Chains A and B, each alone.
Chain A
Amino acid sequence: MGLEQYKGVFIYAQQVDNVMSSIAYELIGKAKDLAKDLNTEVTAVLLGHNVSGLVDGLAEYGADRVIVVDDPELETYRTEPYAHALASVINEYKPDIMLVGATAIGRDLGPTVSARVKTGLTADCTSLEIGDFPLNPPENGEQKHNQLLMTRPAFGGNTIATIACPDNRPQMATVRPGVMQKLEPKKGAKAEVINYNPGFTKNNKYVEIINVIKQAKSVKNIMDAKILVSGGRGVGSPENFKMLEELANVLGGMVSCSRAVVENGWLPQDYQVGQTGKTVRPNVYFAIGISGAIQHVAGMEESDIIIAINKDEDAPIFEVADYGIVGDLKKIVPALTQALKEELA
């Protein structure tokens, strides 16, 4: 089947406005482990226009090699020229593994490219390892070694599945930001650079960008916070969120929220934790006035410590909280903030 021709662990080095997205470095971090197990190298694939300045950063974070596709058509992300570029790189350089960030770009580029090169794609992987498929030697048929085993939650986080792609190459996976770790950068590290251009011809799949509207990002990323004070519908009003903000401030943390809060327009989507929001893994997660729907829990259950405050003793959040307090958040939260101010003074 020629699968042995496919070698190397490749990652898609996502850049926006010629700034590297952190996910690229995180993917390299994981790719290095996989490459070590497979006795092979890590290659970063960089698509864009005038992006050569980003190559050194990729090398410093661990890429052995960078394939650069630099073309005016790639100035701003659009599905089609980008899919053509990445699929062409894959067909030309034949990676064994291709990792893409599960971002708004990656979750569009990944499936389009995997279908184009006729391989499988596993989305939102939380862990990646080299192993055997099937896991146990089967009665009939072979057991393949050195396969990429991709683990991911499905069903709103109710199930964990481990998936392989034994008969197609490359084995493709997407990984959400914040799941894998980037390595310490090695200043001055250099990578082999290959410049490649498959040629771009406009076809019916090219769309026109009429406008790019950036949304003022005054909010820091909740995924970076070590302590999150998260509020749900039970907080009652946008004004009441000030209580949570004060608690977050005294702890050096950040405020976040459930989907209901975003739907009510109390906070922007940047603050949303959950299946359709962000996945967070802080040291401490305060779930305040949050009922604990599966889709929310899926976004925060990896927190080290979960403290829930809710006046409903039957709220599902108490099934995942380490410490559950049944009570009135409007009384408890300000008092807690006060107690902390005194303690930490």
Chain B
Amino acid sequence: MKIVVCIKQVPDTKGGVKFNPDGTLDRAAMLAIMNPDDKAGLEAALRIKDETGAEVTVVTMGLPKAEDVLREAMAMGADKAILVTDRVLGGADTWATSSTIAGALRNIDYDLIITGRQAIDGDTAQVGPQIAEHLGIPVISYAEDIKVEGDYVIVKRQYEDRYHELKAKMPCLVTALSELNVPRYMTPGGIFDAYDEKEITVWGRKDLKDLSDSDIGLAGSPTKIAKASDKVRKGAGEKVTLDPSESVAYIMGKLKEKHVI
């Protein structure tokens, strides 16, 4: 069985954010991690590998430094890694991103594709379902649990007040929630293999299949940024350090002042 996990290197949103003059993110300037929902998806794939001996390939679209998350994935146990990188792919919205990744995936054999539900930078939750749409395969989003049974996946699909147990025939795509599992750590041996033994395949624009230039990069993005700026954070108010009874009096005073009570 072959599983492909799409992962993304994202800026750690605890840090600050920077922009290029055209309004797109200046990703090169920031501290980077593997997106949490994707990591959970990778862990789900690795658990299936542990049980069934499946082959796990990780794919990412990004800047050259996105290689770091591929190495991390391999150190956790992924067998193969593909980096899709090219200047002309940059500035892509979810349509262009999903089109690009689908273009890469058309070169690979897969039974199951796993993506994270959403990335902590874009926060859209769109790319996973859109990749499935471009590839013409079923999508199951918001997976709380993924099991493989023969040619099928059985997925627990989360809604606000319920879940559906769904059965889908592979090939199909599942988007993972970070609640799915607690991902494993990299092992020392894994890290050694990731940097020494395993190779990363690098693909550029020309390696992507059935993909039109009008569907990639900034120019191929139907959504366009009109403006973007650092949020003017609600500023800090007052801060006091008092003993408990004074603290209570302080709070009571404010609640009255603001007509809460």
Residue A162 at the B interface, CB < 8 A? yes
B138 near A107 with CB under 8 A, answer no
B242 near A325 with CB under 8 A, answer yes
Which residues of chain A from 206 to 228 have any CB-CB distance to chain B below 8 Å in the complex?
206-215, 217, 227
B13 near A120 with CB under 8 A, answer no
Q: Contacts A80-B138, A159-B229, A162-B228: A112 and B130 contacting too (C-beta < 8 A)? A: yes
Q: Mark B203-244 against chain A: 1 for CB-CB distance below 8 A, else 0.
A: 000000000000000000111111111110111111111111
B residues less than 8 Å from A322 (CB atoms): 237-238
**Interface hit among A52-60, A63-71, A165-173:** A165-173
Which residue on A lies nearest to B227, using beta carbons?
Answer: A162
Q: Is the interface of B mostly helix, strand, loop or mixed?
A: mixed
A307 near B254 with CB under 8 A, answer yes
A residues less than 8 Å from B150 (CB atoms): none
B130 near A327 with CB under 8 A, answer no
B248 near A339 with CB under 8 A, answer yes
A residues less than 8 Å from B25 (CB atoms): 155
* 5 A-B interface contacts by CB (under 8 A): A16-B159, A295-B13, A324-B236, A335-B244, A336-B247
B233 to chain A, nearest CB (A): 7
B residues less than 8 Å from A307 (CB atoms): 251, 254
Residue A241 at the B interface, CB < 8 A? no
Which residue on A lies nearest to B133, using beta carbons?
Answer: A115
**Interface hit among B1-9, B44-52, B165-173, B183-191:** B165-173
Range of interface residues on B (Cβ < 8 Å) = 35 or more
Q: Contacts A158-B17, A307-B254: A210 and B94 contacting too (C-beta < 8 A)? A: no
Residue B107 at the A interface, CB < 8 A? no
Residue B129 at the A interface, CB < 8 A? yes
B120 near A335 with CB under 8 A, answer no
B residues less than 8 Å from A335 (CB atoms): 244-245, 247-248
B142 near A108 with CB under 8 A, answer yes
B93 near A120 with CB under 8 A, answer yes
Q: Bound complex: CA of A275 vs CA of B13, how far in Å?
A: 11
B252 near A133 with CB under 8 A, answer no
